[in-house]
């Protein structure tokens, strides 16, 4: 028998707030987390803007030795996970920790560490490479550090599907609980890619905007969009089997009822231009949730602010929902607030969906000015709306053609 799965905890470190509460307040207020890059000397870079996490001091969260042994992407994951677990109320006294899993991925992993130590090897020789290079750099170590920090002894998995990582992590965690393998899972994504190499790499494949106006840089669905803005941070949600959550008296944010995944099988970086692969993921998620397209109130779009993504995702939504439903559904991209957090994006946007359901508020696509006839959905421009949301869908599309969609529902006993 399939089990119901609910969301009982949320945690986040983002460019607009270093807790889930502050992040959501920033979303509701239409806050933009994009500004001039401070972590990298941009003198010889064409890209000047990013969405950095602000006021994050590792020694506020870790002793000095521990902080030095964790790459920044792992630090973000641990801080977000601590918040999510505390928020859920799960403890050793009320839960068997061997039945609590961890599925936290990263699109890149410890890029700060890799850049530093590969540079040291090239310039000064192999003896100057830190013995912590491997355990700090490998992309599974965020999940590993979270399990160690919190004592989580269930399944521990690190998804790596580029910008779909966070959504796939949540979707696969949902299946683990639904089919009885775990009672609860901490799921999400983390990323710390704002380094010289990270910016240069995305810059040189023409993915990043070179805009210098922070309010006209990450502008999903706008005709003048010119690429995405690099973001960083982490977001983790606690998924839990419904009866287990009820027995503990947990606060339930929403229920997760659908998950779909697909591959474009088209190109290493470009999405399928007709949106066919993304549409299949959305259809699969709706079939899993046993709902009709007209039931979906809100879609948090992948919406990266690149020409190909936004036009292709618009087509995908129309294919998946049909013309009638796609005219009525509310679609916004909160990457206009946060930039693109790569592997962490799906986790951040899942929190947006569960809070939209809980509070009856659909956030805006901010800084929108110029209408694009190719992107003719209701993208909730500039002002959020108070709307009852029963079903919310979150989409993520990753380099390599990885597509994922998850559907949350207003919880009803």
Q: Which sequence spans correspond to the domains of the chain? A: 1-401
pLDDT digits (tens, 9 = 90+) for 117-126: 999 999 999 9
Catalytic residue among 163, 168, 353, 375: 163
Give the whole-number percent of the chain exceeding pLDDT 70. 100
What value does the mean pLDDT take over residues 8-32? 98
What value does the mean pLDDT take over residues 194-200? 98
The torsion angles phi and psi of 386, rounded to 5 degrees, stand at -85, 105
What value does the mean pLDDT take over residues 134-145? 98
Catalytic residue among 302, 353, 375, 402: 302
**Helical pair 345-359 and 165-178, crossing angle rounded to 10 deg:** 60
Catalytic residue among 168, 244, 340, 402: 340
Q: Is the pLDDT of residue 413 over 90?
A: no
What value does the mean pLDDT take over residues 170-187? 98
pLDDT digits (tens, 9 = 90+) for 28-75: 999 999 999 999 999 999 999 999 999 999 999 999 999 999 999 999
Which of 197-206's residues contact partners 24+ apart within 8 Å by CB, and which partners?
A: 197/111, 197/114, 197/115, 198/108, 198/111, 198/115, 198/230, 199/37, 199/40, 199/42, 199/45, 199/47, 199/50, 199/230, 200/45, 202/47, 202/230, 203/45, 203/46, 203/47, 205/269
- Is residue 163 annotated as a catalytic residue, yes or no? yes
For residue 86, CA distances in Å to 8, 91, 130, 188, 314 come to 10, 8, 34, 16, 38
For residue 97, the model assigns a pLDDT of: 98
For residue 1, the model assigns a pLDDT of: 78
What value does the mean pLDDT take over residues 131-155? 98
Nearest to 283 by CA among 407, 178, 159: 407
- Is residue 302 annotated as a catalytic residue, yes or no? yes
Cβ-based burial of 22 (10 A; exposed 0-12, middle 13-18, buried ≥19) = middle
Neighbouring C-beta atoms of residue 267, cutoff 10 Å: 13
For residue 273, the model assigns a pLDDT of: 87
- Is residue 402 annotated as a catalytic residue, yes or no? no
- The class of domain 1-401 in CATH terms is alpha beta
User: pLDDT band at residue 5, thresholds of 50, 70 and 90?
Assistant: very high
Neighbouring C-beta atoms of residue 218, cutoff 10 Å: 34
């Amino acid at each position: 028998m399939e089990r119901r799965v609910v969301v009982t905890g949320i945690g986040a470190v983002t460019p607009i707030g270093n807790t889930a509460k502050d992040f959501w307040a920033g979303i509701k207020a239409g806050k933009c987390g994009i500004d001039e890059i401070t972590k990298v000397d941009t003198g010889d870079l064409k890209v000047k803007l990013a969405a950095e996490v602000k006021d994050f001091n590792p020694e506020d969260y870790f002793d000095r030795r521990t902080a030095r042994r964790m790459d920044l992407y792992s630090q973000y994951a641990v801080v977000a996970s601590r918040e999510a677990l505390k928020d859920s109320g799960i403890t050793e006294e009320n839960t068997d920790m061997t039945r609590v899993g961890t599925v936290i991925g990263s699109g890149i992993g410890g890029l700060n560490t890799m850049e530093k130590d590969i540079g040291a090897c090239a310039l000064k020789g192999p003896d100057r490479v830190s013995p912590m290079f491997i355990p700090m750099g490998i992309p599974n170590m965020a999940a590993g550090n979270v399990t160690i920090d919190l004592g989580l002894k269930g399944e521990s998995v690190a998804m790596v599907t580029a910008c779909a990582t966070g959504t796939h992590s949540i979707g696969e965690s949902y299946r683990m609980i639904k089919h009885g393998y775990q009672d609860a899972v901490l799921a999400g994504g983390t990323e710390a890619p704002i380094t010289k190499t990270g910016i240069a790499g995305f810059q040189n494949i023409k993915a990043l905007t070179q805009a210098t106006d922070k309010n006209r840089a990450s502008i999903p669905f706008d005709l003048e969009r010119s690429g995405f803005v690099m973001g960083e941070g982490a977001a983790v949600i606690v998924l839990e089997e419904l009866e287990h959550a009820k027995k503990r008296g947990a606060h339930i944010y929403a229920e997760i009822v659908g998950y779909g995944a697909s591959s474009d099988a088209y190109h290493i970086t470009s999405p399928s231009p007709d949106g066919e692969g993304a549409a299949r993921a959305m259809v699969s998620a709706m079939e899993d949730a046993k709902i009709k397209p007209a039931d979906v109130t809100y879609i948090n779009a992948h919406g990266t602010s690149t020409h190909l993504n936004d036009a292709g995702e618009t087509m995908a939504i129309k294919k998946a929902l049909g013309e009638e439903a796609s005219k009525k559904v509310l679609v916004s991209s909160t990457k206009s607030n946060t930039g693109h957090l790569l592997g962490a994006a799906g986790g951040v946007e899942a929190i947006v969906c569960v809070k939209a359901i809980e509070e009856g508020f659909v956030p805006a696509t901010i800084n929108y000015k110029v209408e694009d006839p190719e992107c003719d959905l209701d993208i909730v421009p500039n002002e959020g709306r108070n709307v009852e949301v029963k079903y919310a869908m979150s989409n993520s599309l990753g380099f390599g053609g990885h597509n994922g969609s998850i559907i949350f529902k207003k919880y009803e006993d």
